[in-house]
Amino acid sequence: MDNQGKKYDLIAEGFAKMRDSFYKEQKYLDKLIKLIPSQSSVLDVGCGSGYPIASYLIEKGFEVTGIDGSQKLLDIAKEKCPKMKGVLGDVRSVTLAEKFDAVIEWWCLFHIPKQEHEMMIHRFSEWLKPNGILEFTSGDAAYEAASSEMLDQELHFYSLDPSEYEKYLKHHNFKIILKESDQPEHLVWIAQKLN
Ligand SMILES: C[S@@+](CC[C@H](N)C(=O)[O-])C[C@H]1O[C@@H](n2cnc3c(N)ncnc32)[C@H](O)[C@@H]1O
């Protein structure tokens, strides 16, 4: 499967306008903030335009690096969220020299084919410092779908069954701190890398 970030180049302006404020995320960002040292470093995986997630963390004093596959969304981020360090790349293969106190992924994993979700959990672990915190989102059941509902661009969506995330988190040495449904068919996970 291609890097779906590139599809966001085709809808970047519309997407950035649509996604400029919180839906239900703020509560979960606040939970993350309580678990990491102040002014520490956060990696935002699939950061989009930097809104609403990276911008909020930066406002709270964190250093944020965002990876995204859409150059156009990163260009918008450069304007709207200039303190975020943007990295263009496919989240499945990009290499980063730095390790982070926290990794946040919000609505990017669902664009990655499900056979690669275990690899992504492994990558999240590799990007974290010892005892670092991971926050990510998934479906509440396994699914695989294509939809053009968002701005008429066909996108693919995937989730594993939650029991598989539990298995892979354990396997990659994470302790689950929170697994909660914030909206229908959607889960938010927070886990700590044990070392
Ligand atoms: C639904 S948006 C979510 C953006 C942001 N996290 C938010 O909460 O608004 C999905 C983002 O993931 C990026 N993306 C999807 N697949 C990707 C991949 N394989 N590598 C890098 N970025 C990817 C897209 O470019 C897009 O910015």
Q: What confidence score (pLDDT) does residue 5 get?
A: 87
Q: How many residues does the chain have?
A: 195
Tens-digit pLDDT profile for residues 75-106: 999 999 999 999 999 999 999 999 999 999 99
Give the global pTM.
0.98
Q: What confidence score (pLDDT) does residue 50 get?
A: 98
For residue 96, give both structure tokens. Answer: 């980063």
DSSP secondary structure string for all residues of 120-176:
HHHHHHHHEEEEEEEEEEEESS-EEEEE-TTTT--EEEEE--HHHHHHHHHHTTEEE
Residue of the CA atom closest to atom 27 of ligand 1: 48
**Which option is the CATH number for 5-64+90-193: 3.40.50.150, 3.20.20.150, 3.40.50.300, 2.60.40.10?**
3.40.50.150
Instruction: For CA atoms 51, 57, 61, 63, give the dihedral sign.
Output: negative
Q: What confidence score (pLDDT) does residue 3 get?
A: 87
- CA angle 158-69-95, nearest 5°? 100
Residue 49 has pLDDT above 90, yes or no: yes
Ligand 1 centre distance from Cα of residue 68 (Å): 6
Helix axes 162-171, 117-127, angle to 10 degrees: 40
Strand partners, 105: 45
- The structural domains of the chain, with segments of one domain joined by +, span 5-64+90-193
* φ, ψ dihedrals at 178, nearest 5°: -150, 140
Share of the chain above pLDDT 90, in %: 93
Q: Measured from the CA of 150, which atom of ligand 1 is nearest?
A: 1
User: Are the CB atoms for 111 and 70 separated by under 8 Å?
Assistant: no
Residue of the CA atom closest to atom 8 of ligand 1: 106
Helical ranges in 19-70 per DSSP H: 26-35, 53-59
